[in-house]
């Protein structure tokens, strides 16, 4: 219990694409995440890390929303004030493209949670204490993301808006928990010695306890987690109904 906590690996590289600047305002609501997604495409045998990642692409002249138009100084190199700033917003709006990688982390012994021996919540219930470490697998995957996204931006005639992070910075790999796809800690499996729940998400030790969330994940594939959580919880619900009808619960 508590072992093999994982999160998706992740980082984003944004590029300024001059050919997209000074465009005519028009509706590009469908551009990016709505319509573009690049699944993993390479063979790991030829790479220096296991598993893969997908790419989420965003950009375009969508309807402005909260938080939009920030960071213009990364594009015009100056920021600005008044008319010049407004003109720059019009000029550069929609001229950046972002590539976000979301990849698979390999479960490891240093990433787990446990009951804190000291700290309790306001009800006096002990809180969870988390331990988390990425390994070279994830750092090399992040390096590959960085190099790939930067190459795509250059091929588009653009310039990445941030420098390539160094190895000491984990190649920009987001801290564990930042991608908010935490799963694991009540691993699924047939063997009660190495897993917490069965294939029906039923606790090996307590038959009327089912864990219908991300806990039973054995790994954290590069796909975002929620659809699989929903599929597993539906499957678990169906099993509970079936088991109840057969008087097994």
CA distance 165 to 183: 27
Q: Are 114 and 128 in contact (CB under 8 A)?
A: yes
Q: Is 229 in the site for ligand FAD (CB under 6 A)?
A: yes
Q: Which 164-183 residues touch ligand FAD, going by CB under 6 A?
A: 180-181
Q: Is 93 exposed, middle or buried (0-12, 13-18, 19+ CB in 10 A)?
A: buried
Q: Dihedral of the CA atoms 231, 236, 242, 247 (nearest 10)?
A: 180
Q: Are 203 and 126 in contact (CB under 8 A)?
A: no
The residue among 42 and 180 lying less far from ligand FAD, judged by its C-beta, is 180
The residue range among 34-42, 70-78, 221-229, 236-244 that interacts with ligand FAD, by the rule CB under 6 A, is: 221-229
The residue among 81 and 227 lying less far from ligand FAD, judged by its C-beta, is 227
Exactly one of 38, 224, 235, 243 binds ligand FAD (CB under 6 A); which one? Answer: 224
The residue among 225 and 240 lying less far from ligand FAD, judged by its C-beta, is 225
Number of neighbouring beta carbons within 10 Å of residue 94? 20
For the chain, the straight-line distance linking the first and the last C-alpha, in angstroms and rounded, comes to 23
Exactly one of 2, 184, 214, 216 binds ligand FAD (CB under 6 A); which one? Answer: 214
Q: Is 226 in the site for ligand FAD (CB under 6 A)?
A: yes
Q: Is 219 in the site for ligand FAD (CB under 6 A)?
A: no
The residue among 5 and 20 lying less far from ligand FAD, judged by its C-beta, is 5
Which residue ranges make up the site for ligand FAD (CB under 6 A)? 180-181, 213-214, 224-226, 229
């Amino acid at each position: 219990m508590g072992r093999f906590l994982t999160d998706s690996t992740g980082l984003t590289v944004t590029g300024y694409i001059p050919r997209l600047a000074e465009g005519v305002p028009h509706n590009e609501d469908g551009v990016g995440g709505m319509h573009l997604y690049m699944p993993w495409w390479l063979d790991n045998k030829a790479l220096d890390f296991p598993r893969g990642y997908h790419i989420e692409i965003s950009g375009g002249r969508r309807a402005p929303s909260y938080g939009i138009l920030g960071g213009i100084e990364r594009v015009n190199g100056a920021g600005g004030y008044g008319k010049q700033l407004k003109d720059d917003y019009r000029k550069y709006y929609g001229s950046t493209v972002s590539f976000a990688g979301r990849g698979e982390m390999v479960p490891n012994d240093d990433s787990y949670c446990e009951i804190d021996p000291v700290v309790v919540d306001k009800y006096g219930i002990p809180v969870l204490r988390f331990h988390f470490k990425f390994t070279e697998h994830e750092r090399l995957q992040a390096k590959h993301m960085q190099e790939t996204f930067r190459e795509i931006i250059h091929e588009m005639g653009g310039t990445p808006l941030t420098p390539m992070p160094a190895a000491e910075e984990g190649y920009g790999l987001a801290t564990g928990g930042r991608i908010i796809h935490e799963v694991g800690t009540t691993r699924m499996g047939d063997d009660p010695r190495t897993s917490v729940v069965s294939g029906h998400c039923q606790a090996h030790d307590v038959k009327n306890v089912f864990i219908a969330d991300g806990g039973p994940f054995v790994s954290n594939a590069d796909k975002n987690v929620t659809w699989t959580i929903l599929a597993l919880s539906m499957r678990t619900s169906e099993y509970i109904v079936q088991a109840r009808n057969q008087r097994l619960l």
